[in-house]
């Protein structure tokens, strides 16, 4: 009996294996790119916008304004209805009150 001869794979199977490997590599590269774009989009969405930051800083008084014995506390104690207002409305009215009393540093007179 003659020794067993080594049979080669048909060329079409080898070509299909290379093509499948290339397609898988392309898909993997596209997935990595998509992951990077999603990460940057997520970072953009999680960052507050400029208008939100301005609104946030506009709505809250300084730490020095909130404590007991401050002008803000005096403003709230003048009218009990001011305690029922929302924080944003309180701070807006406080800025107006402060301007009327001449407690602002700016010279907008």
User: What is the domain count for the chain?
Assistant: 2
The reported pLDDT for the residue numbered 44 is: 85
Token pair in block for residue 60: 């809250």
Q: Is 27 among the domain residues?
A: yes
Q: CA 100 to CA 80: how far, in whole Å?
A: 19
The pTM assigned to this predicted structure is: 0.38
The reported pLDDT for the residue numbered 109 is: 47
User: Do 18 and 39 belong to one domain?
Assistant: yes
Token pair in block for residue 84: 């029922």
Q: Is 85 among the domain residues?
A: yes
Q: For residue 96, what are the domain limits?
A: 51-101
CA distances from 61 to 4, 73, 76, 87 (A): 90, 12, 13, 10
Q: Is 67 among the domain residues?
A: yes
Q: Is 43 among the domain residues?
A: yes
User: Do 43 and 58 belong to one domain?
Assistant: no
Q: Is 106 among the domain residues?
A: no
Find tokens 């990595």 and name the residue: 32
Q: Is 93 among the domain residues?
A: yes
Q: Is 107 among the domain residues?
A: no
Q: What is the mean pLDDT of residues 9-26?
A: 94
Q: Is 22 among the domain residues?
A: yes
pLDDT tens readout for residues 19-65: 999 999 999 999 999 999 999 898 888 877 666 665 655 555 555 55
The reported pLDDT for the residue numbered 6 is: 63
Q: What is the mean pLDDT of residues 95-105?
A: 83
Token pair in block for residue 36: 């990077």
User: Do 57 and 37 belong to one domain?
Assistant: no
Burial bucket for residue 51 (CB in 10 Å: 0-12, 13-18, 19+) = exposed
């Amino acid at each position: 009996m003659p020794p067993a001869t080594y049979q080669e794979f048909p060329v079409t199977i080898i070509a299909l294996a290379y093509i499948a490997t290339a397609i898988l590599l392309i898909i993997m590269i596209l997935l990595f790119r998509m992951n990077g774009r999603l990460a940057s989009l997520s970072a953009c969405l999680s960052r507050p916008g400029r208008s939100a930051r301005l609104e946030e800083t506009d709505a809250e008084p300084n730490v020095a304004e909130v404590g007991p014995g401050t002008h803000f506390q005096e403003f709230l104690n003048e009218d009990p209805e001011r305690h029922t207002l929302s924080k944003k409305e309180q701070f807006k009215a406080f800025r107006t009150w402060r301007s009327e009393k001449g407690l602002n540093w700016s010279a907008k007179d």
